[in-house]
Amino acid sequence: MFNKLYENIKSFIVENYKFLLVWGIIIFLFFYEFPFVIYTPGGIVNLESRIEVEDGYETEGSLNMSYVSLVKGTLPMILLSYVIPNWDLIKSSEITIEDESVDELLEMEKLYMQSSIDNATILAYQTAGAEINITREVNNIIYISDEAETNLEVYDEILQADGQNITTVDELKEIVNSKKEGDTIIFTVNRNGKERECQAKIYDTSDGLKVGISFLTTYEYETDPKISVETKASESGTSGGLMLTLAIYNALTPDDITKGRTIVGTGTISLDGTVGAIDGVKYKILGADKNDAEIFLCPMENYEEALRVKEEFDLDIKIHGVATFQEALEYLTN
């Protein structure tokens, strides 16, 4: 039976090898990913359609976040990048850390996006004077140094270090600095829903004692009025933080800060209201202009670059740089 099956398969391959070879080449050309990605001008997302605040206020204009489109480096896409204006070919190694794939980068960016949503929600509610109660802080490891001697893993949720609850980086630094080089810290972590103990050895660097990990904080909270934020599987990153904060704040307060305008912007947001720099401002401004934006808000660190892009492409859009959420709010209000 198996011999007959083998002979049939062999006969089919011999008779159709040219056809199979052509399809093999086509599949390779269209699906094999070379170590490149292509940055292209993205678009905008109307955030009023993504957030739902119970009994929230309506808006006449729109508050939008801009985004960069990232295309994986298959051969057809690479060839198109040499033809289509503003499709820029970039080595994958320039946007990932060592031994990290583009898919792993995107997965990490989703965790960053959740942190951004949390920061935006907390800041907007506090600024608007609405009720928000943080019930839990979640600290997930997002980076482990090559120098680290540890069995901790990326995405582990840190619960305790040497028996002490850890909620901030400073609390972990205190524990590390209370010890000496070569000492071991015992971590209690949540890994895939199971609690376990891990360890990390302290080592000395030019910046002081380290255990070689970084973590990102997300939050669980209760709000009044209730809020839900919708995201799509293709979305990731923190650059929508500023605009999301403005959109949530606008839904919580009676005065519409859009004043009927199409406002687009970008920038990370911290709990203290600091607006942080982003990458890809060129592609975000081009995407905003393509969608007839009247105002483009960006972090001060990106402001000069944004002005250069506006001049280079002769864009009819007003660009304003901000360092804090409060600055953005005052600019739009006034």
Domain chopping of the chain, boundaries = 1-30, 36-128+226-333, 136-217
Q: Which listed CATH number (2.30.42.10, 3.10.50.30, 2.60.40.730, 3.60.70.12) goes with 136-217? A: 2.30.42.10
Please determine, looking at this structure, whether the domain spanning 36-128+226-333 carries the CATH number 3.40.50.300.
Answer: no
CA distances 317 to 48, 77, 198, Å, are 21, 30, 53
Cα-based torsion angle of the residue sequence 74, 41, 44, 303 in order, rounded to the nearest 10 degrees: 130
Handedness of CA 29, 30, 34, 39 (dihedral sign): positive
Provide the pLDDT for residue 101. Answer: 53
For residue 71, the model assigns a pLDDT of 72
- Do 36-128+226-333 and 136-217 agree at the fold level? no
What does pLDDT average to in each consecutive run of 10 residues of the chain (334 residues)?
A: 62 65 71 75 87 92 86 75 74 56 64 91 97 92 89 91 86 89 92 92 89 90 94 78 96 95 95 93 90 94 95 94 97 92
pLDDT confidence of residue 9: 66
Q: Quick check: pTM over 0.85?
A: no
Coil, helix or strand at residue 296: strand
